[in-house]
Structure 1
Amino acid sequence: MADDLFALARSAMRKAHAPYSKFPVGAAIRTHDGRIYAGCNVEVVSFPEGWCAETTAIGHMVMDGGGRIAEVAVLAEKLALCTPCGGCRQRIAEFGSPETKVHLCDETGVRETLRLGDLFPRGFFAEGLG
């Protein structure tokens, strides 16, 4: 079922702007209503000012009217399996839940699937703050 997310994450990864780290990353998210958004990392010479692939995909989702993330696929060119960084785990939590599926991919497809709650234990989830 995550094959379409993998394909979009791989396509996004190939568009990454990573001239400094040489570490292209792609991500694709699916909302609970079935909409899909992809993104890549975008670096700038001042490293902290760039953004991650997951951030780009979430930005596309928000610009399209928002939604709740059901699952996300992440793929990095130079790492067997790449998990979202801490900041992106928090961003995914903002629009997802502990049950959000996180698919870790390599160049051939999905290799491992985790729940965000397992990847980000005791994270700040919007549903628990109200």
Structure 2
Amino acid sequence: MAWDGAHQPKTDGYTSLKADADAMQDVLVDLRRRLHREPEVALNLQRTQQRVQGAPVEISIGESLSSVTAVVRGDRRNPTEPATVMSRADLEALPLEEQTNKGVRIDNGAMHAGGMTCTPSR
């Protein structure tokens, strides 16, 4: 499944947040599953970069093979509140052989085993 642009996220603030999230859920779950089926080790995330370019948000790819920036835009309702929220996430896998028969088992010598760090800030 790929993002077809059928539901563009609205920018009318909080009232549309749930509808936007619901509309994107299936696509984003599919993207997460595809990323986990082909884990990439260290700072060589070329396939990962290519896959996230289809996500329903503004994406830019950095010069290195480990950099992806996603931007989600919305309206700022209260001018006294901060207008920016930043989140950083690690997508690389570790060079480990998966030892499970539960769910999807990857046999390429790598797996997402690091807890997938995501650090938000304002």
| Larger strand share, 1 or 2 | 1
Structure number, greater radius of gyration: 2
Q: TM-score, normalised by structure 1?
A: 0.27
Q: TM-score, normalised by structure 2?
A: 0.28
